[in-house]
Amino acid sequence: MIADLLNTLVGLWLTYVAIFPNAAGIGRDRVVVFAAIAMIGLALWARRSSVRPWQSTITLATGALLAGLMIVHQLVHLSDVLMFWGILWAGLVSAIVSLWAALYQPPRHAELAG
């Protein structure tokens, strides 16, 4: 649950950085790469302790896609529009799915039947 809450904060921060790119400063690309790596690590941590691992799987995939996008952007300049939408959607998906995983507690009878 703690990992999911931290991943929610990372996702919200990524959304903020996508909308206000100057807020992170000149080294925004490196900071976003570190945030993507943090998303992956937190998703792996959340996967071990969650009741249903599909939320952490989505967050893990989102972090990997964002890390890949940022690495490609470091090698070849990509469109600013693509970077905006890539960072924004990675942040939104991570925040929503991680918060859902943190708040969702299945009923006891569903846990025993599933």
pLDDT digits (tens, 9 = 90+) for 13-49: 999 999 998 877 777 888 899 999 999 999 999 988 7
What average pLDDT does range 65-70 have in this prediction? 95
Q: How many CB atoms lie within 10 A of CB 88?
A: 16
State how far the Cα of 47 lies from the Cα of 60, in Å rounded to an integer: 9
34 to each of 39, 69, 86, 92, 93, how far by Cα in Å?
Answer: 9, 13, 15, 17, 17
What average pLDDT does range 52-61 have in this prediction? 90
Element (H, E) at 101: helix 80-103
More confident residue, 9 or 107: 9
Backbone dihedral region for residue 25 (phi beyond 0: left; psi -120 to 50: alpha; all else: beta):
left
Q: For all residues of the chain together, what is the average pLDDT?
A: 88
Domain ranges of the chain: 2-113
Percent residues over pLDDT 90 in the chain: 62
